[in-house]
Chains A and B, each alone.
Chain A
Amino acid sequence: MYTFSNKLRIGSFIAMALGLIFLVIGFVSAPSTVEEAKAMVAVHGESHDGGHAEEATAEHGEEQGHGAEAAHGEEHDASHDTHLLHQLQNRPWSALYVAAFFFFMIALGVLAFYAIQRAAQAGWSPLLFRVMEGITGYLVPGGIIVFVILVLSVMHMNHMFVWMDPEVVAHDELLQGKAGYLNPVFFLVRAAIFLGGWIFYRQLSRKLSLAQDESNDNSNFVKNFRWSAGFLVFYLVTESMMSWDWIMSVDPHWFSTLFGWYVFASMFVSGITVIAMVTVYLKSKGYLEDVNDSHIHDLAKFMFGISIFWTYLWFAQFMLIWYADIPEEVTYYVTRIADYKLPFFGMLALNFIFPLLVLMNSDYKRVNWFVIMTGVVILFGHYLDIFNMIMPSTVGDQWFIGVPEIGGILFFGGLFVFTVFTTLTKAPLRPKRNPFIGESKHFHY
């Protein structure tokens, strides 16, 4: 049995408290009126906003040339200001949402990996099942928090999803055309179905996994195998739809067909990385004596391979849109390259080049601190990935990784660590009579 080390527990509480304070600061300091927003931007970016102001005047000049009406220019100015206000108001919400989704997606990625290991009847991984079950323990609180944020969005507490605003839809024919799918009630019903299905499988599989320890035949194992195979079918469909709903719809004018796979790759590699990191941590504390370097080696191989798979999908999406350069699709990347150059290309270095070069060597994959170091880099890279998906559509060029963003990471990171390690204390770390446990113990690569 694993006992939650006091240091880690206190650490997770401190992270949560600090994160909460940072998030509150973020929400309090968000402007509530147009004047405040303008003042904030003026103070904030006296020097670097010069170009922006010039651009704006140039635009206005053109406007006047067209209509020669001062009133028109003013109206445009006002709409520009409301836009800015909404962006600044969105920032703490987006910071909250990105962090909430990021940690939730790790648990979901682990659940997918777990189901695959069960359905494939892998011989090497049963020793790690309890670690995976511990991590997927975060699915319940994390999923509920994400759902609450979505409900609050539907209740117009924020402007992250523009299609939820009836005012906007009334003036937007594209959104009217999509209203059959993108309408608040259907959106929440879908989210409830996705989360319900995932949490149901997680709880059921955990129950069967624990029952298998106490039973005297393999019926629980067989049932778990069947449920896992069924879950994978359900997951494949719902994960794709979830990515349209929760991520792609912040940019409701844009669509991409392989988006679901792309989000999947991101969550899958983050999930595997977290499995590897938690395993190495538990092993270093002496809790997983049967886990050897070959298990770590296998996890590191998955980290390496899926990192490249993620890059493949990232590039496939980017290159197809860049190559064809169709205006209605390409704006997605135009805004990202214009306003998010460093996070956008920086994440490629973190998620592709770094793991490619570091984890290519077979010997390095067995060095535990190497795996941890690469894991930290990969996780940060995939946080940036989610950041790059959400932020450009919600806060635009007003982004910064500051107090609310770090607060979000700290709060959800702390909650994640607390939930995961609490779940790990609930059951023995080594499954007792999994049919493959002997093979897993002697696994050697």
Chain B
Amino acid sequence: MASKVIQALYDDDDVLMHAVKKVRAEHHHIEEVYTPFPVHGLDKAMGLADTRIAITSFLYGCLGLTVAVVMMNFIMIEDWPQDIGGKPSFSYLENMPAFVPIMFELTVFFAAHLMVITFYLRSRMWPFKKAENPDVRTTDDHFLMEIGVHDNEKELAALLMETGAIEVIVTEKES
């Protein structure tokens, strides 16, 4: 990562989208874009890879289903197969309809919660985490694009001003 970065501020998401496309067309690597709200299509314009979080969620759901089946099978069928109100606890299959609500809920529970935790881990979010915000205005109404500088400061600044940036700042980035 470059220690020196150039930051361009925009005040409109459409302008930002065009700027991102233009900068990419000029083959500059965009380090990061900060926006106050999700800009539709920004990930595609930046060429970011698709998220795989849905796949993890499916796997967590399978895990939840397995947990439910193994748990209910052990408790209700193997460990202490009591006759409770005449329900057939001879085998798991015979008593399965009674377990379906639990199987369903645990599947959803695992899929949802583990996916959220995965999201937090992967995007490095936790309480007391120091906020990484180069400019406070990006949480309100400004958009910021950050590009690493490799001895091409002037050229980059000119390009960014051309794309409609309202402000271009060059700073040292401590990382």
| Chain A positions near chain B (C-beta within 8 angstroms) | 315, 318-319, 322-323, 325, 360, 362
| A212 CA / B100 CA spacing, docked (Å) | 50
> Would A325 and B86 count as touching, CB distance under 8 A?
yes
**Residues of the A chain whose Cβ atoms lie less than 8 Å from the Cβ of B86:** 325
Interface size of B by Cβ–Cβ distance < 8 Å?
6
Q: How far is the CA of A318 from the CA of B58 in the complex (A)?
A: 27
B38 at the interface (CB under 8 A from A): no
Residue B98 CB within 8 A of the other chain: yes
Q: List 12 A-B contacts (CB under 8 A).
A: A315-B97, A315-B100, A318-B97, A319-B97, A319-B98, A319-B100, A322-B97, A323-B97, A323-B98, A325-B86, A360-B58, A362-B54
For B86, the closest partner residue in chain A by CB is A325
A360: chain B residues at CB < 8 Å are 58
Contact partners of A318 in chain B: CB under 8 A? 97
Report the minimum CB–CB distance from A131 to chain B (whole Å): 28
Which residues of B pack against A, CB within 8 Å? 54, 58, 86, 97-98, 100
User: How many angstroms from the CA of A15 to the CA of B100 in the assembled complex?
Assistant: 42
In angstroms, Cα B100 to Cα A305, docked, is: 19
Instruction: Give Cα distance in the complex from A323 to B58, angstroms.
Output: 30
Nearest CB to that of B55 among chain A residues?
A361
Quote the shortest CB–CB distance from A301 to chain B (angstroms): 14
7 shortest A-B CB distances, which residue pairs? A319-B97, A322-B97, A323-B98, A315-B100, A319-B100, A323-B97, A318-B97
Distance (Å) between the CB of B145 and the closest chain A CB?
Answer: 25
User: Whole-angstrom distance from the CB of A330 to the nearest CB of chain B?
Assistant: 12
A325: nearest residue on chain B (CB-CB)?
A: B86
Q: Report the minimal beta-carbon distance from A352 to chain B, rounded to whole angstroms.
A: 12
Residues of chain A with a CB closer than 8 A to B54's CB:
362
CA distance A318 to B97 in the complex (A): 9
Q: Report how far A318 CA is from B96 CA in the complex, Å.
A: 12
Q: B100 to chain A: which residues have CB within 8 Å?
A: 315, 319
Taken together as a complex, chains A and B put the C-alpha atoms of A319 and B100 apart, in Å, by 9
Question: In the complex, how many angstroms separate the beta carbon of B32 from the nearest chain A beta carbon?
Answer: 27
Question: Which A residues touch B98, using CB under 8 A?
Answer: 319, 323
Q: Compute how far the CA of A360 lies from the CA of B86 in the bound complex, rounded to whole angstroms.
A: 38
Query: In the complex the two chains form, what is the Cα distance from A362 to B50 in whole Å?
Result: 12
Q: Complex: how many Å from CA A360 to CA B58?
A: 9
* A323 cross-chain contacts in B, Cβ below 8 A: 97-98
Extra 9 A-B pairs, beta carbons < 8 Å, given A315-B100, A319-B100, A362-B54: A315-B97, A318-B97, A319-B97, A319-B98, A322-B97, A323-B97, A323-B98, A325-B86, A360-B58
Question: Smallest distance from the beta carbon of A152 to chain B beta carbons, Å?
Answer: 39
Query: How far is B58's CA from A362's CA once the two chains are assembled, in angstroms?
Result: 13
Chain B residues contacting A325 (CB-CB under 8 Å) are: 86
